Structure 1
Amino acid sequence: MMNDILQAYGLITPGSIKPFGDGLINHTWKIEDEKGSFILQKINTGVFKHPEYISENIKAVSGYLSVHHPAYFFCTPVTTTQLDDLVYTSEGCFRMYPFIKNSHTINVAENAGQAFEAARMFGELTKLLAGFPVDKLKITLPDFHNISLRYNDFLKAVVHGNKERIQQSSSLINFLKSQQHIVAEYEQLKTSGALKPRVTHHDTKINNVLLDDNNKGICVIDLDTLMPGYFISDVGDMMRTYISPFGEEEKNFSKLEMREDYFTAIAEGYLYEMRNELNEAELNHFVFAGKFMIYMQALRFLTDYLNNDIYYGRKYEEHNFVRAGNQVHLLQLLIEKEARFQEITNRITFPKKTTRQNH
């Protein structure tokens, strides 16, 4: 199977083929060949039902950037000997990227400087694509960040889910219901036109940025969810995954934090690029982005738990219950810090671009 795929790219006798990274969705290998080093991925068509949509979006964005911002490094797939971006076999759908030399990724922000750099990279991509006709992009994951849908799914699970788990989760359920105003506020922002549709990455975990040996950004990767969206998706996911030193798997909620220096790094990095792109309403809802994303993830984890773990799966009986509780606690911490974080956002301005010195 692998030989057929590699031959499609003209790689006859690769020196080595090794599993690479720890992504949860696609299977990935690093290929070493006399022609160079490459990353091969098998696209999870159970999640991405139209891989061609991903390919079309990347082509469209790449074409725009090559004309309007030719100096920007945008990593595009390697084409086959037949100039195709995708290879279909009986085993699935595959694509290949060049391996970028002297690059690495990290799974956790180890310092605020890394958080700044990642936030800047995601902001830069969206800024450079400000003139791109966003309605031309295909939707690769329908309803990915549709919080109203997630809330309705949650309400259904509260009625029709596992009765014992519903009873066990009563305090989490009551809290999440009490925060329904987050859904209402999001819908009001959309309806009023305050949120501008933009080319949005939608998966801004820090391991989706390639860094050089000095931890400076090289490029944004994992473009499967590059599609129309709102800035709150990208900023919210950064806040959810960078600010606390421990992620959603942590059982000891007392370890969770809302670290002010990491929030400041995200705001400075993203607004370094996007300050003049965001409107006043968007700037006033910068911190709301974190509430939006954390709340939505809490809804999704608890919904799955009440539905007997049909989506995320589990490693132990109460895994999704713990994940939901973790995110609820994180949301509570953010609510406590909300005024302070918005104050930080309000004072961040960039009358001229300067190099950040304090990280």
Structure 2
Amino acid sequence: MVRQFEIAGEPRSAEPFGKGLIHRSYLIRLDTGARFLLQRINTRVFSRPVELMENIDRVTGHLSRMAAETGGQALQLVSATGGGSWSVDDEGTYWRLYHYIDKTRTVEQIESAEQCFTVARAFGDFQRLLTSLPPPRLHDTIPGFHDTPSRIAALDRAIAADAAGRVRPAGAEIDFVEARLPLARVLLDRGMPERVTHNDTKINNVLLDARTGNPVCVIDLDTVMPGLAVYDFGDMVRTATCPAAEDEQDLSKVHARFDHFEALARGYLAGAGGFLTGEEKLSLTAAGKLITFEQGVRFLTDYLSGDTYYPVSRPTHNLDRTRTQFRLLESIEAQERLMVQVVRSLT
């Protein structure tokens, strides 16, 4: 497959790379010493791979041109020999090849509030740079991804079907959702503009300089599509403020660290603040609540449906994930007034 792309040299080795669960990735070394990242695209998750690659091609091209002007770096696709930025093998599998960015690293967990600032600024910068992406509108790679009312409707269907006989043990969690139904529309009714958003703003999707720890570029662009800018901030709150794992069973360990929230807000506004409207800035805390709630609803729906989407290692795995999200949401709610105050002080 590597030979189906325009490379200067001969491939000499390929080894599995990274911890991603969606695509199969390989680090490729050529006889010239050059390195590339080859990926087999998971078309079960991304059922429209051509639209996916058209998005990534446009975004990486735009960011690469802007990086060239400033001396920065950005992800770059390698063109396929037959044209375009992807290749299809004899079995109909889609592949892509990226230039490997040397002297960088990723981390799996936030290590400090300072790191929260760094990562949030990187994602804020990413959004800001893409405000100048020329038309047309990007494709929706996962339609309805942050359509929380539709997620609630899917949960209602799972409750009614009770396919796995799990409604009774999840009674408390179902009641938790019912008590917070108005939260599903907390952002949709604020009249915020559509932006280009990343939609997977975990720290491991920022390449860091291996020596300084400074951000080099944002990676994993599969879910880059139109959305509300604050969705990205909300997902940072969900993934960066909690010290516990997403499937932690000891809920006493689950809480939102206020200093991490404050650092996220400072970093994000430092990167994106120039283009955000006043309503977008004042919606940051609500976004943290919404995305945490929405992810809990998704885990709960999968648990009730018999674990058909998320990989599990125990019967209650998705229920444990649900409880973690809902406990985190309670912690955000308890600190909401202070979080709103700190955002107002920054804006």
Query: Aligned residue for 2:129?
Result: 128
Match of 2:202 among 182, 202, 205: 205
Which residues of structure 1 form unaligned runs of 5+?
Answer: 350-359
> Do structure 1's residue 25 and structure 2's residue 22 form an aligned pair?
yes
Q: Which position in structure 2 is the counterpart of 1:158?
A: 159
CA contact (8 A) 2:249 2:320 kept: yes
| Inter-CA distance 56–100: structure 2 relative to 1 (3 Å threshold) | same
Structure 1 pair 18–63 and aligned structure 2 pair: CA distance change class (3 A): closer
Q: Distance in 1 between matches of 2:340 and 2:61?
A: 37
What does the per-residue CA deviation read over 1:273-297, in whole Å, with 9 as the maximum and x for residues that have no partner?
A: 2223221222221111111111001
TM-score normalised per structure 1: 0.90
- The residue aligned with 1:105 is 106
Q: Is the 8 A contact 1:122 1:270 kept in 2?
A: yes
**Corresponding residue for 1:353?**
none
Cα distance, 1:137 vs. partner?
0.9
SS of the aligned residue for 1:211 comes to strand
Aligned-pair identity in percent equals: 35
Query: Counterparts of 1:68 and 1:311 in 2: how far apart (Å)?
Result: 37
Amino acid at match of 1:179: R
Specify whether residues 163 and 249 from structure 1 end up closer, same or farther in structure 2 by C-alpha distance, changes over 3 A only: closer
Shift of the alpha carbon at 1:132?
2.8
Among 240, 250, 254, the alignment partner of 1:252 is 250
Q: Are residue 186 (structure 1) and residue 187 (structure 2) matched?
A: yes
Root mean square deviation, CA, Å: 1.8
Deviation for aligned residue 1:67: 5.7
Does structure 1 conserve the Cα–Cα contact (< 8 Å) formed by 2:187 and 2:287? Answer: no
Normalised TM-score (structure 2): 0.93
1:337-356 deviation digits (Å, cap 9, x = unpaired)? 1111111111124xxxxxxx
* 1:146 corresponds to: 147
Q: Per the alignment, in what secondary structure is the counterpart of residue 321 of structure 2?
A: helix
* 1:37 counterpart residue number: 35
How big is each residue's C-alpha offset from its partner over 1:67-94, in whole Å with a ceiling of 9 and x where there is no partner? 6663253212111334431110134111
Residues 305 and 320 in structure 1, CA contact (< 8 A), matched pair in contact too: yes
Deviation at 1:13, TM superposition (A): 4.5
Shift of 1:33: 1.5
- Amino acid in the other structure paired with 2:81: T
State the 1:14 CA deviation: 2.7
Shift in Å, 1:241: 0.5
Residue by residue over 1:23-60, the C-alpha shift from the partner in whole angstroms, topping out at 9 and shown as x without a partner, is 11111111111330111111101111122212222332
Matched, 1:227 2:228: no
The size of the alignment, in residue pairs, is 341
Give the distance between the partners of 2:39 and 2:164, measured in 1 at CA.
41
